[in-house]
Amino acid sequence: MPSNGSEPQAVLRQLERVLESPGFARNERLSRFLRFVVEGHLDGKDSELKESVIGVEVFGRGPNFDSRLDPVVRTEAIRLRARLSDYYSKDGKADSLVIELPKGGYVPRFHEAAAEPPVTETAAQRSRHVWFKVGIAGLVVALAIAGGWWALHRNDPIPIAVLPLANISDNPANDYFADGLTDELIRNLSIIEGLAVRSRTSSFTLKGQPRNIQDAGHRLQVDYILEGSVLRAGQHLRIDVQFVRVRDDFPVWSGRFDRELTDVFAVQDEIALGIVNNLRLKLGGGRRRYETSLEAYDLYLRARGMPDQRGHAWALDAADIYKQVIAKDPRFAPAYAGLAAAYAASSAQGFRDDHTNELAQMRAAAENAIRLDPLLAEAHDGMAMVYMRDGKWAQSEASFRRAIELDRSNSGTYVDLSTWLLLPLGRIDEALRELRKAERADPLSPFIQQRLADMLIIAGRYEEAAVHCASEAECMARVRLGQGRIGEAIQILYKLNNPPAENKLGRRDLVRPRYLGYAYARDGQGSKAEEIAVEVAPNAYSEALIYAGLGDKDRTLQALDRVAELGAARIGQALNSPEFALLRDDPRVKALRKKVGLPE
């Protein structure tokens, strides 16, 4: 039944009004979603308004659809809520009936607009658009002017124009290239949030006219103008551009691009992207609106929703899907960032594998993500992982901090910073603080709860850790081991490992038995521990853990020396874990740290 006593016919009329608005009329996918949940609720079918049903009925998933593996419904619900919010802040501002999709479920709510208390809208909420968003959560534009910062908080986008670039070559036939580059600049700027770019038709009315920025700004009704010139000499190109404030002819930014002309269209695209990204960095904001194909976007969501990408095989599967996205849309920066993250995960695991190619592709993917979108938080997270693998800790931390600055709501970056940088460097208290931020951003994430529990165990705060372990058996067993309750830990771990687990490839799981072997070793059952050490080979970390439980420093260090192939962070994580406390005064650890690039 309609909420708050709204009549069904009134709700249906309001639904049609919403669906006829420009934001929904152009998006059949979200329109179908909204109609399904509203009509389902009116028909008394709230029990069917759940992910398993919506995925099949609305988004065409098969009968085996599993929402744990495919997050399409959750993702589209986020977009639907944003689209409804945008509608009621603009086209539907005067509507008397409001349709909402409350967070945490798929049963809609209806209420009279007047019944809602007034809400003070934030700048980020006012600037929310309806396109797929990746990047900064809200638009805040800051211009560097006269040695200070002028922060612009405004509803309306910044009006700018791109004047036709002047061909200053000797050959007038090169006009086509200057005009084509102007078109590319207009197109690229038009997909940046917060900018209202004048059309080509308006801009080209000023082609060939004497330069008068204030007159051009007045005629085009803009605050800023991008102007420049193109010089072509043989196969060499020089493009000079500047971004000018109209009211006082002040050059906010300028740039020069020198290129060899091999492929006209590729060069146009590269230079346009470079100019646009430089302007975005100068403005300090401006999220890109990605208008990729539905097929590419759907593949991207599938890759993001892959379960446990921390597993080697799963991470490689995700990487393959990201590559498919890139093949369909080579300029979709989030796919490159996802590819970098997948290779960061896969290259930190797998003792049977040569990770040289994965590391090279990780670096290339992260660099491409930043080149395509320097304000994409995930791109900087990916580059931070690259620096981490190279042992460039200061650069890695700077990239993590930049990612957080760009998107403070992304819990994954806090987790990566804590797990892959702060923990390996022994900065445990800082790592806990970052994980608390991740928890605030994503309080229901089991993964974050597990990471918090792990870090609390490392900090020796076992009672607190137990709260976050929930029903995770290995986590609780580590707590009991830390508390010296070894018999209880063995009971938990024995049950976890019987029957023996297999990994995704159908092989015997070489990870799960390791803590049982460690617990047996701590309990004085050396023969059982040795048997498990043989079973988990060649997983060097699992072997090292069991040897540490046996108190065998030599074999522990030999195994960790093989773990070093997976990067310095893996060694740092081990050396800061309580299970490896026996090594902390061993002089050979210093040599191991130096070998992998861990600071003292």
pLDDT digits (tens, 9 = 90+) for 366-411: 999 998 888 888 999 999 999 998 889 999 999 999 999 888 878 8
More confident site: 411 or 69: 411
Residues 184, 99: one domain?
A: no
Residues 156, 278: one domain?
A: yes
Evaluate whether residue 358 is within a structural domain: no
pLDDT > 70? residue 172: yes
Query: Is residue 24 within 8 Å of 34, Cβ to Cβ?
Result: yes
Q: Please tell me the distance from the alpha carbon of residue 54 to that of residue 320, in angstroms, as a whole number.
A: 27
Q: Please tell me the distance from the alpha carbon of residue 441 to that of residue 132, in angstroms, as a whole number.
A: 20
What is the average pLDDT across 54-75? 76
Least confident of 53-62, 375-384, 421-430, 498-507: 498-507
Least confident of 152-161, 346-355, 584-593: 152-161
How many CA atoms does the CB half-sphere of 13 hold within 13 Å?
Answer: 8
Residues 94, 53: one domain?
A: yes
Look at the chain and report how many structural domains it folds into.
Answer: 3
Evaluate whether residue 401 is within a structural domain: no
Residues 97, 177: one domain?
A: no
Evaluate whether residue 302 is within a structural domain: no
Q: Please tell me the distance from the alpha carbon of residue 339 to that of residue 353, in angstroms, as a whole number.
A: 18
Evaluate whether residue 539 is within a structural domain: yes
The residue from 262, 288, 314 where one domain ends is 288
Residues 588, 519: one domain?
A: yes
The single-letter DSSP state of residue 98 is E
Give the tokens for residue 559. Answer: 């195994």
Residues 84, 147: one domain?
A: no
Residues 115, 147: one domain?
A: no
* Structure confidence at residue 288 (pLDDT): 59
pLDDT > 70? residue 545: yes
Would strands 250-260 and 236-245 be described as parallel, antiparallel, or unpaired? antiparallel
Closest CA to 280 of 259, 255, 300, 297: 255
Start-to-end CA span in the chain (Å): 65
Tens digits of residue pLDDT in 465-516: 999 998 789 999 999 999 999 999 999 999 998 887 665 555 667 788 999 9
Give the range of the structural domain holding residue 530, as residue numbers without chain letter. Answer: 485-600
Q: How confident is the model at residue 142 (pLDDT cuts 50, 70, 90)?
A: very low
3-class SS at 101? Answer: coil
Q: At residue 170, what are phi and psi to the nearest 5 degrees?
A: -70, -25
Give the tokens for residue 338. Answer: 């996802």
Residues 95, 154: one domain?
A: no
pLDDT > 80? residue 595: yes
* Structure confidence at residue 316 (pLDDT): 86
* Structure confidence at residue 573 (pLDDT): 94
CB within 8 Å of 28: residues ≥ 6 apart: none
Q: Would you report the helix, strand and coil content of the chain in percent, each value rounded to 5? A: 60, 10, 30
Evaluate whether residue 330 is within a structural domain: no
pLDDT > 80? residue 291: no
Q: Please tell me the distance from the alpha carbon of residue 558 to that of residue 545, in angstroms, as a whole number.
A: 12
Q: Tell me the one-letter amino acid at 227.
A: E
How many CA atoms does the CB half-sphere of 228 hold within 13 Å?
Answer: 24
- The mean predicted confidence, pLDDT, of the chain is 81
The residue from 288, 316, 351 where one domain ends is 288
pLDDT > 50? residue 136: no
* Structure confidence at residue 116 (pLDDT): 41
Residues 146, 262: one domain?
A: yes
**CA–CA distance from 593 to each of 253, 259, 389, 423, 577 (Å)?**
45, 44, 14, 14, 15
Evaluate whether residue 200 is within a structural domain: yes
Q: How confident is the model at residue 523 (pLDDT cuts 50, 70, 90)?
A: very high
269: left (phi over 0), alpha (psi -120 to 50) or beta: alpha
Query: Is residue 232 within 8 Å of 174, Cβ to Cβ?
Result: yes
Tens digits of residue pLDDT in 312-369: 777 888 899 999 999 998 888 889 999 999 998 888 876 666 778 888 999 999 999 9
Residues 40, 72: one domain?
A: yes
Evaluate whether residue 66 is within a structural domain: yes
Tell whether omega for the bond before 499 is within 30 degrees of 0, i.e. cis. Answer: yes
Q: Highest mean pLDDT: which of 5-14, 95-104, 380-389, 434-443?
A: 380-389
Tens digits of residue pLDDT in 237-283: 888 888 888 988 888 878 888 877 765 555 555 666 666 666 666 65
pLDDT > 50? residue 154: no
Query: Domain containing 181 — which CATH number?
Result: 3.40.50.10610
Residues 114, 146: one domain?
A: no
Q: Please tell me the distance from the alpha carbon of residue 437 to that of residue 403, in angstroms, as a whole number.
A: 14
Q: Tokens 């976890």, residue? A: 496
Evaluate whether residue 408 is within a structural domain: no
Give the tokens for residue 376. Answer: 């994409």
pLDDT > 80? residue 6: no
Least confident of 126-135, 328-337, 447-456, 564-573: 126-135
pLDDT > 80? residue 153: no
Residues 35, 95: one domain?
A: yes
Alpha helices in 259-355 (DSSP H): 264-283, 294-304, 312-328, 333-346
* Structure confidence at residue 464 (pLDDT): 94
Query: Is residue 238 within 8 Å of 258, Cβ to Cβ?
Result: yes
* Structure confidence at residue 264 (pLDDT): 54
Q: Please tell me the distance from the alpha carbon of residue 230 to that of residue 180, in angstroms, as a whole number.
A: 11
The residue from 288, 314, 337 where one domain ends is 288
Strand partners, 166: 229
Give the tokens for residue 36. Answer: 């399904």
Share of the chain above pLDDT 70, in %: 81
Query: Is residue 410 within 8 Å of 403, Cβ to Cβ?
Result: yes
Least confident of 77-86, 114-123, 394-403, 436-445: 114-123
* Structure confidence at residue 446 (pLDDT): 84
Q: How confident is the model at residue 533 (pLDDT cuts 50, 70, 90)?
A: very high
More confident site: 333 or 104: 333
Q: What's the pTM value of the predicted model, to 2 decimals? A: 0.60
pLDDT > 60? residue 2: no
pLDDT > 80? residue 526: yes
What is the average pLDDT across 229-238? 84
What is the average pLDDT across 209-230? 88
- For residue 114, count CB atoms less than 10 angstroms from its CB and return exposed for 0-12, middle for 13-18, buried for 19 or more: exposed
- For residue 98, count CB atoms less than 10 angstroms from its CB and return exposed for 0-12, middle for 13-18, buried for 19 or more: buried
